[in-house]
Amino acid sequence: MQDVRRNIIVMANLSDLMNGIARMEGFWVNGSRSQRNNNPGNLRASSLATGKDSSGYAIFPDIDTGWRALQRQIELDTGRGLTLGKFIAKYAPSSENNTGNYLKNIMQWLGVGADTSLSQIVAGEIVSSVNPNLNPTKGQVKGKRIRK
């Protein structure tokens, strides 16, 4: 008898990618830089920012603005035709991150490969079978899309 709890079918979407990035950037850790700066993506620059901290990370006036800035960045890179792998290499460069680990985790959480286009993820066109224990949004509200 197969254990049906092992795998579930999910649709990877923009919200999942945003939550995965926030997880990798430490946003769900109390007192982290990304929490203090209302910056779930640890973005360095954004027209929505009110300033920068001493390490050059953008500070947003509230968390909704921080989420909106992360969404904008993903959508900009979607328009550039990037794959998930190229996006993560640009977003989390090896000079500041363990880029391979970052990409591996995001791919596991979304159930996609590095060659998946961001446009497919943003459009919610990805359907895959993944282990539910790898879901980065466990305990958070899934599917929330922030308006521009």
User: Mean per-residue pLDDT for 55-76?
Assistant: 97
Mean pLDDT (the chain, rounded):
84
pLDDT exceeds cutoff 80 at 140? no
Buried b / exposed e across 47-69, counting CB within 10 Å, b at 16+? eebeeeeeeebbbbeeeebbbbb
pLDDT exceeds cutoff 50 at 57? yes
The span from the CA of 3 to the CA of 75, in Å, is 38
Closest CA to 60 of 33, 79, 87: 33
Q: Please give the pLDDT value at position 123.
A: 86
Question: Structural domain of residue 39, as residue ranges?
Answer: 8-131
Chain segment 91-103, per-residue pLDDT in tens = 999 999 999 999 9
**Could you tell me if residue 76 is inside a domain?**
yes
Number of folded domains that form the chain: 1
**Could you tell me if residue 55 is inside a domain?**
yes
Cβ-based neighbour number of residue 80 at 10 Å = 11
| DSSP assignment of 8-60 | EEEEE-HHHHHHHHHHHTTTTSTT-HHHHTT-TT--S--TT-SEE-TTS-EE-
The span from the CA of 97 to the CA of 115, in Å, is 20
**Could you tell me if residue 2 is inside a domain?**
no
Q: Is the pTM of this model over 0.85?
A: no
User: Mean per-residue pLDDT for 19-31?
Assistant: 96
**Could you tell me if residue 111 is inside a domain?**
yes
**Could you tell me if residue 138 is inside a domain?**
no
**Could you tell me if residue 144 is inside a domain?**
no
- The CATH number linked to 103 is 1.10.530
Instruction: Tell me how far the alpha carbon of residue 82 is from its chain's centroid.
Output: 15
For residues 110 and 9, the model is more confident at 110
**Could you tell me if residue 147 is inside a domain?**
no
- Specify the 3-state DSSP secondary structure of 127: strand
Q: Please give the pLDDT value at position 28.
A: 94
Q: Which residues contact 72 (CB under 8 A, 6 or more apart)?
A: 46, 48, 148
**Could you tell me if residue 61 is inside a domain?**
yes
